[in-house]
Structure 1
Amino acid sequence: MATTEGYAARPGGHQAAFLAEVQAEEEAEHTRLTAAAYESYRQRELPSGRGTRDLIAAFRAVDEELAAHETQHPVLTDDRRLERLLKTRAETLHVGAANYCWFTDPKRALCLTLAGTPDATEPLIGMCDSARCPQATHHPQHRQTWADQAKNTQEVFLGNPRLAPLERRRAQDAYDRAMRIVDAIDAASTGLNSEGTDSGQ
């Protein structure tokens, strides 16, 4: 279908409708994930990573708007209003395999800096170095990915006695970094660390 419509150049056909449905589902999922992150914040289960401070500041602004609204209209506050308040932040969310990217400023996106494309309108999520990017956060659902990386690095590389010294050093660095992120996620999710704690350096 996509190939046929591509040749026929039929705007508004099934392909366009399908892409619109996909985009709508992505937007709904990003809103759901942002609302879940906000609810975790309300429960003092904080994210970790360099983007934490900005995310918490955005959530506090939502708190203030909700509080002001409840004072004026105590009966009218509902989940739909919360979703509307979180919409702007949800629109910046890009989901990575092991982190969230809150893409609010292209010039602060490490992936774009490394790629030499600071004016791009979307992050290069596949190039994300979430341990160093100031717009990335790690949440409890990302813990297993980092724990698995640490375990695999330890078993496959550090457990190999024939590994060259330089490769062993690289593997050790990768293991240490993954474990720092795991520890930061654990500390943040229990409220033990301060906001904005760097989880990857």
Structure 2
Amino acid sequence: MLAAKIHLKHVSIVTTEGYAASPGGSQAKFMAEVSAEEQARNKNLTPAAFRDYQNGIRPAGPGARDLIDHFESVDEEILAMQASSPGTRPGDEEVIQLLARRAKTLRLGIANYCWFADPSRALCLILAGTPGSDKPLVGMCDSARCPQATHHGGHRPVWASSAQNKKVFIAKIGRGQRDEKARLQKELDRDLRVLSEIDAATGTAA
């Protein structure tokens, strides 16, 4: 499922960059269809992340605190709705509506969720020098540092695979390639830190 979602996001990026100079006709229709698919996907992923939060499974990553704060505010709204109508509980559609604004900001990274709520805080745009852009640059994403990125349990296999591959590469590096080894070790340390944070947040730490 994650691979399919990543593929959908990749298609969106490629088509946007490829057709930006010549919009219209079938190209515009295709982009509208991709956008509709993304919106439908986000309506499912955001409530799923919220349900995880309600079950004690927290997000990790630099943007985790902001997302948790938002989920806490939604929880408060749900409690207020229940208090105003004793004996009733908001249905799924009502919860989805409460989460709708946040869902619209969701973009999929390679191994993270990008909550693109404030372009001026997006690390990819800051690095590219385009903080006013209305789309994130997923190819430049560094989710371990971006304040709008979160990591969830479903992202763990990607980070684990990345860490394992780096361990293999590091073991094969000769003594004369100290700079390359140091670079990969730094990236491995980052991967292991992200894995540790995911495990701690989701309650799967050993």
TM-score range, shorter chain: 0.7 to 0.9
Q: Which structure would you say has the larger Rg? A: 1
Q: TM-score, normalised by structure 1?
A: 0.84
Can you list the C-alpha shifts for 1:23-42, whole angstroms capped at 9, x where unaligned? 22210101111111101000
**Which one of the candidate residues 32, 36, 40 is aligned to 2:44?**
32
Can you list the C-alpha shifts for 1:82-102, whole angstroms capped at 9, x where unaligned? 111111000110101111111
Give the Cα–Cα distance (whole angstroms) in 2 for the partners of residues 163 and 82 of structure 1: 58
The aligned counterpart of 1:154 is 167
**Which one of the candidate residues 81, 87, 92 is aligned to 1:79?**
92
The reply on whether 1:111 has 2:124 as its aligned counterpart is yes
The aligned counterpart of 1:184 is 197
Q: Tell me how far 1:17 sits from its aligned partner.
A: 4.1
In structure 2, the CA distance between the partners of 1:165 and 1:14, relative to structure 1 (3 Å rule), is closer
The aligned counterpart of 2:9 is none
Give the Cα–Cα distance (whole angstroms) in 2 for the partners of residues 168 and 132 of structure 1: 22
Give the Cα–Cα distance (whole angstroms) in 2 for the partners of residues 102 and 135 of structure 1: 5
Can you list the C-alpha shifts for 1:40-90, whole angstroms capped at 9, x where unaligned? 000111011110111011111111111111122343621000111111000
- The count of corresponding residues between Structure 1 and Structure 2 is 184
**Identical pairs, percent:** 48
RMSD after superposition: 2.1
Higher RCO, Cα 8 Å, sep 6+: 1
Q: Where do 1:8-157 residues align within 5 Å?
A: 15-73=27-85, 74-75=87-88, 77-157=90-170
Give the Cα–Cα distance (whole angstroms) in 2 for the partners of residues 161 and 10 of structure 1: 50
Larger helix share, 1 or 2: 2
Unaligned runs of 5+ in 2: 1-18
Unaligned runs of 5+ in 1: 1-5, 193-201
In structure 2, the CA distance between the partners of 1:76 and 1:37, relative to structure 1 (3 Å rule), is closer
